[in-house]
Structure 1
Amino acid sequence: MEEEKVVKKKQKKVWPIVILMLIIGLAVGGVGSYYCFEVINKKDTTTENKNTTEKNKDVTENNKTEEISTDSPYINELVDQYDTYFVSNVELADTLYGKDKTNITDLSEDYLRALVIQKSNNGLGNNLYVTGDSFQNNVKILFGTQVQLINKDFSIHKGCTSYQYYNGSYSIKPSEGGCGGTSASYLQRKVIKAVKSTDTLEITIAYAIINEVTNTVSTDSQAANKIEGLTADSVDIIRDKEKLPQFKYVYTYDKTNLGYYLNYIQKVK
């Protein structure tokens, strides 16, 4: 009997110890689990934040822009090479700036072929033999993959100029009989801004049609839209740019040809 009492007494003393150890174990386990959770979560959050920062950095790098001097010969050439000679200087305003947005594919086939001829012989107005491959290469340089012009013989006779491509030879020649006089109006255009990003280039121009006989400034070949407050004898494109129409030429960078081709021309103001 006495032995049973001793055993029961010992059991009573053991149970509180067991319960206490369980409580301590749970507490330690909880703290350990919480610590592990915090460390792992912090590591994951840090990694996620780092990845987000890197992605944002990449986006920022890709969207980074750079202003280019408006006096750059290359920038001005990029604009000038989309003018063609059989459209008079004044009529260019109607052709290129007659709408709020003109895609390169909106221009006529004759206009596009004339641009390729000019690119091929550098506008020298001389006969120049050019292979079919060179013709297609110049199409890509000017228009990327937006335009397809097959190799074929053709002649364009407009205004003061005759364009011909025959048997692989380009030529630009003055038309017989001349132009029938000189116009009193002419187009003045200046590059006022050029901004380059990773894959695009935007060149903004301001222009005016100047008539020295009437001493007026307008925005179209018919002088229907005269600009009040400006006169032919005093207008300055750069100084008066806010009063003049502005358009931007938007180009895409071609990694194959290492140059820019024109996508569209869009009205700015």
Structure 2
Amino acid sequence: MNPDNLEPKTQKSTLVLDEIKPLTNGKKTKSNLTSGKIHTSKPKTSSRAESKKNGYSSTEKNMQAQLRSQILQRLDQIEKVEFAERKREFYQKRSEIRDEINQVLEGTHPIYCKLVKELEEEKDRQIKYADEMCNSRIEIYKREHEISQTQTNIDFQNERTNLINQLVLNVEERKRKIKDERDCLEVTSDFILETTRGSSKRNLRNRGLDAILNNTFKNSSPSASLTNNSNTGTNKRKLLQNQPLPGINDEEATSDLIELRKVTGVTGPIPTTSSNKKNVKSAKR
């Protein structure tokens, strides 16, 4: 029980006692006045005065006893009322506590609802933060993926261009080697033909003999056969000089190089056979 709840009850009891006290005080003052009158008017010698005094004292005692009984009854009533109020407050508080427990169990308690609302707000805040972090990381990973993809495509194009350039260089190197081999073969064939060809110089000592032989065997068959043999030999040499070598055709190689340069974007002059022949002739000179 709270002391605040008990204060008005004690005040009620004090008020009741204050109401009762003036009655007793008033009667005592009346008896005092009467006794004072008796003392002032007459001395205490008569029996009547004593009997009156005894009568007043007995009436006062009776009145005090009545007042005491009234006070006790009033106190009993106050205690009963206070006990009843305390009991009622106890049952009321017990019912309130029971109602609060039921509200907590059912989830309808105001404090519980307030705390749950705060928890839900905190949960929503954390979920929102997690979603924002997830979206930001997804954006970062997307940008990194795009960057890596573009870089991979660039590397692929560079490697492809390098590979094509390397293939073009290999083809040009093969073509150059084939042309060099052909030029070397032409040079060697020309050298062999020149070495096998007879000398144009004539010996002065044999000049007369040659004239005689030419005059005597001019119209004979052996001389005709010799001239025919010499003509066939020169024709064979010409055929050997003009005979093509086995390998790649110049026109096909040139067309392949042109197509490769269109794809790769390589620029520059394309070597031809005429330039190589000029270089070979200049080297011969």
The two structures have a TM-score, normalised by structure 1, of 0.29
Larger Rg: 2
Name whichever structure is richer in strand by fraction: 1
More helix by share: 2
